Chains A and B, each alone.
Chain A
Amino acid sequence: MFSFELLLEAILFGVLLGCFYAAVSIGLSVSFGLLDVPHVAHPAIMVFGSYCTYLLGLYGLDPIVAGIVLMPVFFLLGVGVYRFYYESFEKRGTEAGVRGLAFFFGIAFIIEVGLILVFGVDQRMAQAPYIGTSLSIAGYRIPYRLLVAFGVALVLTAALTIYFSKTFLGRAIKAVAQDEPALRLMGANPVRIKQWAFGIATGVSALAGAMLIIVGPVEPSLDRLYIGRTFCVVVLAGLGSMTGTLAAGLILGIAESIVLTLFGASWAPAVAFGLLLIVLGIRPQGLFGR
């Protein structure tokens, strides 16, 4: 059942969905893409952010405001987690990667179990005027919650791109990703810079968590659903590229939406991950990687 109108709608919704994918992946793009930390707990931290947003919502705070309020708290949490990871694993040498993976899986597991103990296994949702309503333009009804995700993804990408290219600390973070010994020779402390960057990645996860609960209901084990998707976006983008993350999110979102609308929902994940394999086959460094 093909119609040009349906295709156009599929692309439009794909763009919105893609921006949401980018918003939930951008923190990982910093921690995994730039810092090379196997941060598999990224989706779990996001879900934790969703629950914090939910809690603040009980006191009448809007989910987006709650996400912004939580960012500095999560920044400090990220600084602490990285310090522990560095002291326990990275400092000790070559096997840090594998052990670090176990460490972050452990964190993800602790967060999931902790959320179950405190909140139970029921789904939680946020309430806001833009959740469950839509904007009507030229016969199309576009959910406001996806428009919010669209806006947040654009703002986050722009802010991080400017930060990494225009500020001293931002450039230092890029430098530590490229050549850590050289940075050390310049008299800078790579560990403190990485700590700062990991804090930023975690802070961004708080806002992404707010996005998560705006777009749909959350439950403690939701992180498992996002591990594959977020890593897919970051790897497809090319490690560490912020604009690349947005572009990869868009590609994934549009591909999923078109396949889902015109060919069948069951094919959507297969096409998305098939796309990743093809891109990696042609460009192993990802679409925007160097």
Chain B
Amino acid sequence: MRPIRLIAAAFAAIAMLASGLAAAQQPIKVGMSMPQTGSLGAGGKAALLALQMWVEDVNAKGGLLGRKVEFIVYDDQTNPALTPGIYTKLLDVDKVDLLIAPYGTVPTAPIMPLVKQRDLLLMGNFSFQVNRTVKHDKWFNNAPWSDAASWSDGFIGAGQKLGAKTIAFLAADQEFAQNLANGARELAKKAGLQTVYDQNYPPATVDFSSMIRAVRAAKPDIVFVMSYPNDSVAIVRAVNEIGVGDSVKLFGGGMVGLQFTPIMESLGSSLNGIVNYNTYVPGLKYPGVEEFLQRYAKKAVEAKVDPLGFYLPPFNYAIGQMLEQAITATKSLDHKVLADYIHKNEMKTIVGPIRYGPDGEWASPRVVQAQFRGIVDKNTEQFRQPGKQVILHPEQFKTGEVVAPFEKVRGK
């Protein structure tokens, strides 16, 4: 071989080696869209902070497979029309290695066909039943529920214990709320409860006084409400002003927003007596969650997001932990390998151990139903104390029994 060729071959070998090394040093890109504005913006910001904490933690430990983790996030404005475009960009332009779904059902649903078509792993983020019809085998939801029954069985069960015979429904006229309300309707029917009032309201409803009056006139034993944050506040206010009547033993169920600190703080004593779903409340003993929440609380003040962060942040941090566990165990970024691992193994997270069913939802759902008690006005710190939200369900985490009737608990 001529010297010139030898030199050229040596250069080529060095270049190949260098590019290989460079590839090895490139960060692992994790991409997602997260609502930072719009109706889910408040929750989205808190959730994002938790995910960023996981990225910081994992990079402080040296990253994954010897590579740093890079987080690429876009604001989807809680607009489902934007998410397919964002995820296409994440995959084709940003070339991300792993995907996390946006917070919420509505922004997630439009990306499911794309993810299924490309056969990608998708870590779900508090959506409800988006995989029911798609049946994607690489979908894993971080939310502690599975079907609609898992969401409301604790609530209906508490009503049955109180000897309830009749039920009223008040539900937002949107897919997510309707899916849940339909599940609750089926459960109520199975439990032999007679429906005496059933109202779906449009998302732009300004005042709920009329509906609360109609509920009171129907004299139900249980009132199941499936509402969004703005509506939840207006409904609680209307209940406080007008009253739901002495017949009501149990009120609440699926009110989104009553988990968020600014809303809980503003509503204060108006919350007393309401039994509502949650994902985490103080008193639930998951290993590591209290330490996480202490660290989160400090960062939340700077980031101007939900200072308590009970609802979404621990479960978002858990997404990172699950990815970390799967990648570390399999030493792979292959989506099929990772999905197989998550399907077959128990995931150890700060929200407790998680095992997945074939549909990518929790095999043993843990939706909490808790009753607000002894809440006073204008005090955020009180919500950190166990006992302000008494856990009625699941049975293994129970911290007390439901107290009724509703108006009496409220001191009305």
Residues on A facing B (Cβ under 8 Å): 1, 3, 6, 9-10, 13, 17, 20, 116, 120-125, 127, 131-134, 141, 143-146, 215-217, 219-221, 225, 257, 260-261, 264-266, 268-269
Known: A121-B42, A123-B262. A216 touches B206 (CB 8 A): yes
Q: B260 contacts A122, CB within 8 Å?
A: yes
Residues on B facing A (Cβ under 8 Å): 36-39, 41-42, 45, 173, 197, 199-202, 204-207, 209-211, 213-214, 217-218, 229-230, 233-234, 237-238, 240-243, 260, 262-263, 266, 270, 304-306, 378
Contact of A125 among B45, B233, B260, B305 (CB under 8 A): B233
A121-B41, A216-B233 are known; give 8 further A-B pairs, CB within 8 A: A120-B42, A122-B42, A123-B263, A133-B241, A221-B38, A260-B205, A265-B200, A266-B200
Q: A121 contacts B37, CB within 8 Å?
A: yes
Q: B243 contacts A141, CB within 8 Å?
A: yes
Known: A125-B233, A265-B202. A9 touches B262 (CB 8 A): no
Contact of A6 among B214, B242, B378 (CB under 8 A): B214
CB contacts (< 8 Å) of A143 on chain B: these are: 209, 237-238, 241-242
B81 to chain A, nearest CB (A): 15
Q: What is the CA–CA distance of A114 and B378 in the complex, to the nearest angstrom?
A: 27
Q: B201 contacts A120, CB within 8 Å?
A: no
Q: B207 contacts A146, CB within 8 Å?
A: yes
Give the top 5 A-B pairs by smallest Cβ distance, nearest first. A121-B41, A265-B201, A134-B241, A143-B241, A125-B266
Known: A6-B217, A132-B237. A13 touches B230 (CB 8 A): no
Known: A6-B217, A121-B45, A132-B270. A265 touches B209 (CB 8 A): no
Known: A121-B45, A122-B260. A261 touches B210 (CB 8 A): yes
Q: What is the CA–CA distance of A6 and B218 in the complex, to the nearest angstrom?
A: 11
CB contacts (< 8 Å) of A20 on chain B: these are: 206-207
CB contacts (< 8 Å) of B204 on chain A: these are: 225, 269
CB contacts (< 8 Å) of B270 on chain A: these are: 132
A116 to chain B: closest residue by CB: B37
Q: B37 contacts A3, CB within 8 Å?
A: no
Q: A17 contacts B206, CB within 8 Å?
A: yes
Q: A268 contacts B233, CB within 8 Å?
A: no
Q: What is the CA–CA distance of A266 and B173 in the complex, to the nearest angstrom?
A: 7
CB contacts (< 8 Å) of A268 on chain B: these are: 202, 205
B203 to chain A: closest residue by CB: A225
A259 to chain B: closest residue by CB: B210
Q: What is the CA–CA distance of A132 and B209 in the complex, to the nearest angstrom?
A: 12
CB contacts (< 8 Å) of A6 on chain B: these are: 213-214, 217
A134 to chain B, nearest CB (A): 4
Q: B242 contacts A134, CB within 8 Å?
A: yes
CB contacts (< 8 Å) of B266 on chain A: these are: 123, 125, 127, 217
Q: List 16 A-B residue pairs with CB atoms under 8 Å apart, sorted by A's residue number.
A: A1-B214, A6-B217, A123-B233, A123-B263, A125-B266, A131-B237, A132-B240, A141-B242, A143-B237, A146-B209, A216-B230, A219-B230, A221-B39, A261-B211, A264-B200, A265-B200
Q: What is the CA–CA distance of A141 and B216 in the complex, to the nearest angstrom?
A: 12
A73 to chain B, nearest CB (A): 25
A14 to chain B: closest residue by CB: B210
Known: A9-B213, A17-B207. A120 touches B304 (CB 8 A): yes
Q: A265 contacts B205, CB within 8 Å?
A: yes
